[in-house]
């Protein structure tokens, strides 16, 4: 609660529920060092920073709802976080007055917005993880939970009925989805489709090994911004960083990072939890092959898992060109959990013992195994029923 309040009070310069500054990770993903004063002056209204705050409110909302099952006083706390989320989600797309939302209708993608001291502002059109992180802010409310918390449900219904200016363009909270659930999300179904069109495009974010931190569109189309006679630019770099920004020992301009990929998989599963099997998208984009979001999440999980598995030649992508690890019987099964992975080849990059988050692959393997077993059981039951 204290940490949440610090962000709300210190990192929302205009009091408009759009957040700036603070250490967010994603080190060199932007055209500027976002933890330092900008060479332009002014500040950046951050798509990822604001989305993290929206996700933060939903996490705290979920905790409050769980506690409220035993202690009704937490229904008031849940209402507080519900309202915070609505204000943040609305602000991302509808800044009002002379402001500029972070959602770019022309491109169908979320971008950071640079606000200059003279009042000018413009979106920095870099197709990166910054524009995918809004998908993390998603949660479903179960109907039976709402029925057990009448005070919270009453406040929620009042807000929807009396503040349509804030709720009408957000993901639908009035219409019940699969299992009579309610959906809380920054992205509505149209925005979700638009973002996934980029994310699931093999010419953009989709790699054979997961989702790149930056679209390879920028390989041939680098983003350039001139400031005081100096050119600042962002290129697609799938491996090690070519700059010294943040010490040069980290790169978010193309590689695959497990923590954000895992959260994307989890977010797609949550969206499917509400939207169900009728909501389908192309995977990959342009292939004509339609999949549910649950199936897309499974495909992404398999691509990430393939980083560590032997291919038809007996080689593991994680080892890249390290022949000792690829062929030596004493080394080839000693799999390393790298910090991040080459966006094109899947080779391990950065620190080689980053088990803390790359170890999430074990959870993906578990889910894949459970899914296969469930399908086998369903098929067996169907056969018995047919007999």
Calpha distance 108→242 (Å, rounded): 30
Calculate what percentage of the chain has a pLDDT beyond 90.
63
Question: What mean pLDDT is reported for the chain?
Answer: 88
The answer to whether residues 152 and 78 touch, using CB atoms and an 8 Å cutoff, is yes
pLDDT of 194 above 70:
yes
Query: 194: how many CB neighbours lie within 10 A of its CB?
Result: 19
User: Packing angle between helix 2-10 and helix 47-68, nearest 10 degrees?
Assistant: 150
Q: What pLDDT, on the 0 to 100 scale, is given for residue 353?
A: 86
Looking at the chain, list the stretches that DSSP marks H as alpha helix, in order from N- to C-terminal side: 2-10, 47-68, 74-93, 143-148, 150-162, 164-167, 189-199, 217-220, 258-275, 293-305, 323-327, 355-358, 361-386
Q: What is the pLDDT of residues 52-105, one digit of tens each?
A: 999 999 999 999 999 999 999 999 999 999 999 998 988 887 754 456 789 999
Helix (H) or strand (E) holding 207: strand 206-207
DSSP calls for 305-319: HTTTS--TTS--GGG
Q: What pLDDT, on the 0 to 100 scale, is given for residue 228?
A: 87
Q: What pLDDT, on the 0 to 100 scale, is given for residue 96?
A: 47
φ, ψ for residue 187, nearest 5 deg: -90, 130
Q: What pLDDT, on the 0 to 100 scale, is given for residue 384?
A: 79
The dihedral of CA 245, 246, 249, 255: what is its sign? Answer: negative
φ, ψ for residue 185, nearest 5 deg: -160, 145
Q: Which of 128-137, 185-194, 243-252 has the lowest mean pLDDT?
A: 243-252
pLDDT of 326 above 90:
yes
Q: Which of 37-46, 93-102, 151-160, 302-311 has the lowest mean pLDDT?
A: 93-102
What residues have CB less than 8 Å from 355, skipping those under 6 apart? 337
The answer to whether residues 213 and 26 touch, using CB atoms and an 8 Å cutoff, is yes
Task: Go through the chain and tell me how many residues it has.
Answer: 387
Calpha distance 100→119 (Å, rounded): 11
Q: Which of 156-160, 184-188, 233-237 has the lowest mean pLDDT?
A: 156-160
Q: What is the pLDDT of residues 288-297, one digit of tens each?
A: 999 999 999 9
Q: What pLDDT, on the 0 to 100 scale, is given for residue 202?
A: 97
Q: What pLDDT, on the 0 to 100 scale, is given for residue 313?
A: 93
What residues have CB less than 8 Å from 329, skipping those under 6 apart? none
pLDDT of 173 above 60:
no
Name the most confidently modeled range: 42-51, 83-92, 264-273. Answer: 264-273
Q: Which of 124-138, 165-179, 264-278 has the lowest mean pLDDT?
A: 165-179
Q: Which of 103-112, 207-216, 221-230, 374-383 has the lowest mean pLDDT?
A: 374-383
Largest distance between two CA atoms of the chain = 77
Q: What is the three-class DSSP state of 342? A: coil
pLDDT bin (cut points 50, 70, 90) of residue 282 is very high
pLDDT bin (cut points 50, 70, 90) of residue 309 is very high
Name the more confident of 52 and 3. Answer: 52
Q: What pLDDT, on the 0 to 100 scale, is given for residue 170?
A: 60
Q: What pLDDT, on the 0 to 100 scale, is given for residue 116?
A: 92
């Amino acid at each position: 609660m204290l940490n949440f309040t610090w962000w709300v009070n210190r990192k929302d310069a205009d009091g408009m529920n759009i957040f700036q500054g603070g250490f967010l990770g994603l080190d060199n993903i932007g055209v500027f060092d976002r933890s330092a004063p900008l060479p332009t002056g002014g500040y950046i209204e951050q798509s990822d920073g604001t989305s993290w705050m929206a996700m933060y409110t939903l996490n705290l909302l979920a905790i409050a709802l769980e506690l409220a099952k035993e202690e009704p006083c937490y229904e008031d706390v849940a209402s507080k976080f519900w309202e915070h989320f609505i204000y943040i989600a609305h602000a991302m797309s509808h800044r009002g007055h002379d402001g500029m939302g972070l959602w770019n209708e022309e491109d169908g993608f979320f971008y950071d917005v640079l606000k200059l001291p003279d009042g000018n502002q413009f979106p920095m059109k870099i197709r990166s993880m910054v524009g995918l992180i809004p998908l993390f802010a998603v949660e479903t409310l179960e109907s039976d939970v709402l029925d057990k918390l009448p005070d919270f449900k009453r406040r929620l219904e009042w807000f929807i009925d009396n503040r349509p200016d804030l709720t009408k363009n957000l993901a639908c909270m009035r219409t019940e989805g699969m299992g009579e659930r309610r959906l809380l999300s920054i992205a509505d179904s149209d925005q979700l489709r638009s973002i996934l069109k980029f994310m699931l495009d093999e010419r953009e974010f989709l790699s054979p090994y997961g989702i790149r931190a930056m679209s390879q569109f920028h390989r041939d189309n680098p983003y350039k911004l001139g400031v005081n006679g100096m050119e600042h630019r962002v290129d697609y770099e799938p491996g090690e960083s070519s700059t010294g920004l943040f010490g040069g020992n980290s790169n978010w301009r193309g590689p695959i990072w497990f923590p954000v990929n895992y959260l994307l998989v989890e977010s797609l599963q949550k969206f499917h939890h509400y939207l169900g099997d009728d909501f389908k998208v192309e995977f990959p984009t342009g292939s004509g092959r339609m999949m549910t979001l649950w199936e897309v999440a499974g495909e992404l999980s398999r691509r990430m898992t393939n980083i560590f598995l032997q291919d038809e030649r007996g080689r593991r992508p994680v080892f890249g060109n390290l022949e000792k690890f690829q062929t030596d019987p004493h080394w080839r099964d000693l799999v390393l959990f790298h910090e991040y992975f080459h966006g094109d080849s899947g080779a391990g990059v950065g620190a080689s013992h980053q088990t803390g988050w790359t170890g999430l692959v074990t959870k993906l393997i578990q889910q894949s195994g459970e899914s296969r077993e469930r399908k086998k059981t369903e098929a067996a039951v169907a056969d018995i029923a047919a007999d």
